[in-house]
A and B are shown apart, each in its own frame.
Chain A
Amino acid sequence: HPFLSPQDTVDRLLRLHFRDGRTRGTGAAAGGPGRAGPCRAPASRNRLVLAVNADAQLLMAELLKVFVREAAARAARQAQAEDLNKVDIEQLEKVLPQLLLDF
């Protein structure tokens, strides 16, 4: 693997935060029974609770890209409005509340 794969990275990042160990990406084996997690969906007893399939991974990768670009663009615009040629943490802080409410 010479290069970073966005989908693998996204899958890894998502799985870092899933509460139920059976919430998996497509690559993982179907989870066994038992171990009721907090986010377990009632309809899927012995299957994966929720699978992040390849399409969803791609979508999530795209979403994260859009989020990063949006944050950068809005902060840059704020710097422009202040006649600065460099975006600093202050400009990011100014756009942050509305940015987070939009996502």
Chain B
Amino acid sequence: ERRCSSLQHKSALSACVTGQKQTNCHESWSLSPEEFEIWDRLYRIKESDGIKEPVLPRVQFETLENLEETPKEGAARELSLTEWSVWQNQPLPTSLVDHSDRCHLFIRAMEMMELMRHQQGDCSYEQELQPHLRMEDVNIPGNKRRGRCSR
């Protein structure tokens, strides 16, 4: 039993290829028998390789109803987007594609968190912004006490 079957969107080619002999179901969108042979030999992750199939984490909203069920991926290795967060407070090198605006925002936010990590007592960000607060700009909920930075 191939592990590809645990993928949620079964890759079209494995669905095609594992079921029947690859020759009769080959269409121009899928691998040709020769290409399949190369993929199978060089790239396909097999049980004997001793490595887990990499999968991306699924989207999950903590405060909303989630439409997609989260499958239990026991045999897979979920790629982490947070494990190397210490690496993320500077732009990493690019090749052909430059960093986007939201990527730069992310890097700046990571930088800011790094700076605030060791802060104690009053929050410097709060102190910086507090003088500019105009009460008519904000919707004041029940209590009027200003919140403290809780980090």
A, B co-complexed: yes
Q: A residues near B, CB below 8 A? A: 1-5, 8-9, 11-13, 16-17, 66, 69-70, 73-74, 77-78, 81, 89, 92-98, 100-103
Since A1-B27, A3-B32, A94-B87 are in contact, a sample of 9 more A-B pairs with Cβ atoms closer than 8 Å, ordered by chain A residue number, is A1-B26, A1-B28, A16-B12, A70-B95, A74-B95, A81-B93, A92-B79, A93-B81, A93-B84
Check B27 against A8 for contact (C-beta < 8 Å). yes
Check A4 against B98 for contact (C-beta < 8 Å). no
Q: Is the contact region of chain B dominated by helix, strand, or loop, or is it mixed?
A: loop
Hey, which chain B residues are within 8 Å of A81, CB to CB? Answer: 93
User: 28 A-B contacts, Cβ less than 8 Å apart?
Assistant: A3-B28, A4-B35, A5-B28, A12-B29, A13-B12, A66-B96, A69-B95, A69-B96, A70-B96, A89-B77, A92-B79, A93-B79, A93-B81, A93-B83, A94-B92, A95-B92, A96-B79, A97-B82, A97-B84, A97-B106, A98-B91, A98-B99, A98-B103, A98-B106, A101-B100, A102-B94, A102-B97, A102-B98
Knowing A4-B35, A8-B27, A98-B103, the reply to whether A78 touches B92 (Cβ < 8 A) is yes
B72 interfacial contact with A, CB 8 Å: no
Q: Nearest-CB distance from A50 to chain B (Å)?
A: 19
Q: B residues near A, CB below 8 A? A: 9, 12, 26-32, 35, 54, 77, 79-84, 87-88, 91-100, 102-103, 106-107
Q: How many angstroms between the C-alpha atoms of A97 and B99 in the bound complex?
A: 11
Picked from B30, B31, B84, B94, the residue with its CB within 8 Å of the CB of A70 is B94
Q: How many angstroms between the C-alpha atoms of A94 and B32 in the bound complex?
A: 34
Check A101 against B103 for contact (C-beta < 8 Å). yes
Check B31 against A4 for contact (C-beta < 8 Å). yes
Picked from A2, A12, A94, the residue with its CB within 8 Å of the CB of B84 is A94
Hey, which chain B residues are within 8 Å of A13, CB to CB? Answer: 12
Q: Nearest-CB distance from A67 to chain B (Å)?
A: 8
Q: Nearest-CB distance from A22 to chain B (Å)?
A: 20
Check B97 against A66 for contact (C-beta < 8 Å). yes
Check A1 against B97 for contact (C-beta < 8 Å). no
Q: How many angstroms between the C-alpha atoms of A70 and B92 in the bound complex?
A: 12
Check B32 against A4 for contact (C-beta < 8 Å). yes
Q: Nearest-CB distance from A72 to chain B (Å)?
A: 8
Q: How many angstroms between the C-alpha atoms of A96 and B9 in the bound complex?
A: 21
